[in-house]
Amino acid sequence: MFKSKTIKLFLMLGVILFSLVGVVGCSNVESEKINVKILYRDDIYNIEINKGSKFYLSEMSFVLNKEDAIVLYGDNFEKKYNNESLSRDVVFMICDYNGTENLGKTYTLEDAYDKNYIGDNDINKIYNNYTNSNNNIMLEKEIELKILNDRLVELKERNNDAVLEDISIYGYYGNYNNSYVIRLNDKYNDFATVEKELIINDVIFQYSGPSFLVWIDENENCYPTDNNSSNATYIETYFEDDGVEGQFEVVKNHIDLITLLENDTPEKYNEDFFEDKSLLVFKIVESSGGNKSVIESYIINDKTLNVYVKTKQYGDTADMGYWWFILELNKEESENFESIKIFKNGNEIMNGTTNEIKSFYTLQEAYRECLLNIEVLEKIAAYHNNGQQAKDKLDIEIINKIKEIAAYKWQNDELTSVINAKAEDFVITKYYGTYNNAIVFMINNPYFESPAEDLGIIETIAGIDFYYSSTDRIFVLENINCN
């Protein structure tokens, strides 16, 4: 075993050079050169070889007892370059996968689901990939090596002689926002062949052998961030009303940020910043001015942005601490969620929809805000007063969005809040159509028992009567601003 990394590197480069120049193609291209760039830690090596030289992946995949591995940039490298004549520049890197430190985090499938790394829809996809014998999804080589490396770290705690080749991927079931679902096999564990059952979100996995695991890549943008990260900013301030911890705003322009933060607005969040990014801004109130908390991680699952805050330092001062937490999001991220959950030290401190779709309009408000005109109101009244509804159906995503907003409204109602309000408690009883992106519907009130008798309530809007026999009301959801 070589103890010097420098000696190892030059031996590796020797193997590389031998495999690259050992076989040369047609003589008429011998004078042409291509560049092979080799990346090793902070060093870059550029080697010129004859165009047409062949590359043998079998000699490059693992070297020096598999303590180091060659990982290529680009997709499907093996198909592109294995035993192929090189006709253009290539780049590859030498990475250490010797089990000295973890490169990611590994959870059981149950724990990953509980921590919201894996969502309800993901569970169904995982099950389909697991039960489909024709599943041909492929795990990227670099990710595979990182996963094997992390298992090697664990194995070396029990047996220091363990090496990477002792471990293999038993099954791969997909990548869900940089969360890779796998099963691992190794020669140090005797996996029972008895059939086991795993139930998650009413989905039943029947299996024998290795358990289902989820490996999360720590180098991806969604995991993790910390107080030294370029995508999180923390500003100590003071909230006159003491604020509500976790209360948030999604900010998409410079003016709105100044309105929110006033003198606390960082200079770097200027108009240019908002051309391709947005911000999640929320309040954190500490019980001691000496407490220091950070955004440890965030992830988007099932159109919900989950933000995890962790207290890294506890103080013993009697004063309170007030902070603005600012999380930077790129455009793709900001368009992929409709609700937000903020957790602090494992406890949920805020749950709500984004500020753009926090509330419904009543019919009166929708008319006043020019979302509905008299002609549309007459059509809605004709449906409603005659016990009818529109012939077309609402999309399931819109239905779920309406239910989530309804739950949010009840959770945050100033007079009669229902803290445990849930989206699944609500039912859209009537759908009266969509008019210029204004969705008109009737939704139940699950937290109030309506009298059995006909209430005979009449609501008049612009001279048009709407008759109600119960406490359920008609509401309007707008998806875009009224012009």
Query: Would you state the pLDDT for residue 206?
Result: 93
> 253 vs 76, which has greater pLDDT?
253
Q: Is the pLDDT of residue 148 over 50?
A: yes
Query: Would you state the pLDDT for residue 97?
Result: 63
**What CATH architecture applies to the domain 5-96?**
Roll (3.10)
178 within 8 A of 151, measured Cβ to Cβ: no
Least confident of 70-74, 123-127, 148-152, 288-292: 70-74
Q: Is the pLDDT of residue 41 over 70?
A: no
Q: Is the pLDDT of residue 184 over 70?
A: yes
**Residues 405-428: what's their mean pLDDT?**
78
Q: Is the pLDDT of residue 326 over 80?
A: yes
> 35 vs 9, which has greater pLDDT?
35
All structural domains of the chain with their residue ranges: 5-96, 104-217, 232-356, 361-478
Q: Measuring CA to CA, which residue among 363, 427, 366, 359 is closest to residue 399?
A: 427
Question: CB under 8 Å to 30, separation ≥6 — which residues?
Answer: 24, 50, 51, 52
Query: Which phi and psi angles does 237 have, rounded to 5°?
Result: -150, -155
29 within 8 A of 50, measured Cβ to Cβ: yes
Q: How far apart are CA 104 and CA 297, in angstroms?
A: 13
DSSP 79: H
Average pLDDT of the chain?
A: 75
Query: Would you state the pLDDT for residue 379?
Result: 95
Question: CB under 8 Å to 286, separation ≥6 — which residues?
Answer: 293, 311, 315, 320, 321, 322, 323
Query: Would you state the pLDDT for residue 54?
Result: 55
Going from the C-alpha of 210 to that of each of 112, 196, 448, 482, the distances in angstroms are: 17, 10, 49, 55
Calculate what percentage of the chain has a pLDDT beyond 90: 18
| Measured CA angle at 56 (ends 55, 59), to 5 deg | 130
Q: Is the pLDDT of residue 255 over 70?
A: yes
DSSP 177: S
> 269 vs 408, which has greater pLDDT?
269
Q: Is the pLDDT of residue 182 over 90?
A: yes
DSSP 262: G
Q: Measuring CA to CA, which residue among 478, 301, 477 is closest to residue 406?
A: 477
Query: Would you state the pLDDT for residue 63?
Result: 33
Query: Would you state the pLDDT for residue 6?
Result: 45
Q: How many alpha carbons lie under 13 Å from residue 229 in its C-beta half-sphere? A: 21
Query: Would you state the pLDDT for residue 316?
Result: 73
Q: Is the pLDDT of residue 79 over 80?
A: no
Q: Is the pLDDT of residue 299 over 60?
A: yes
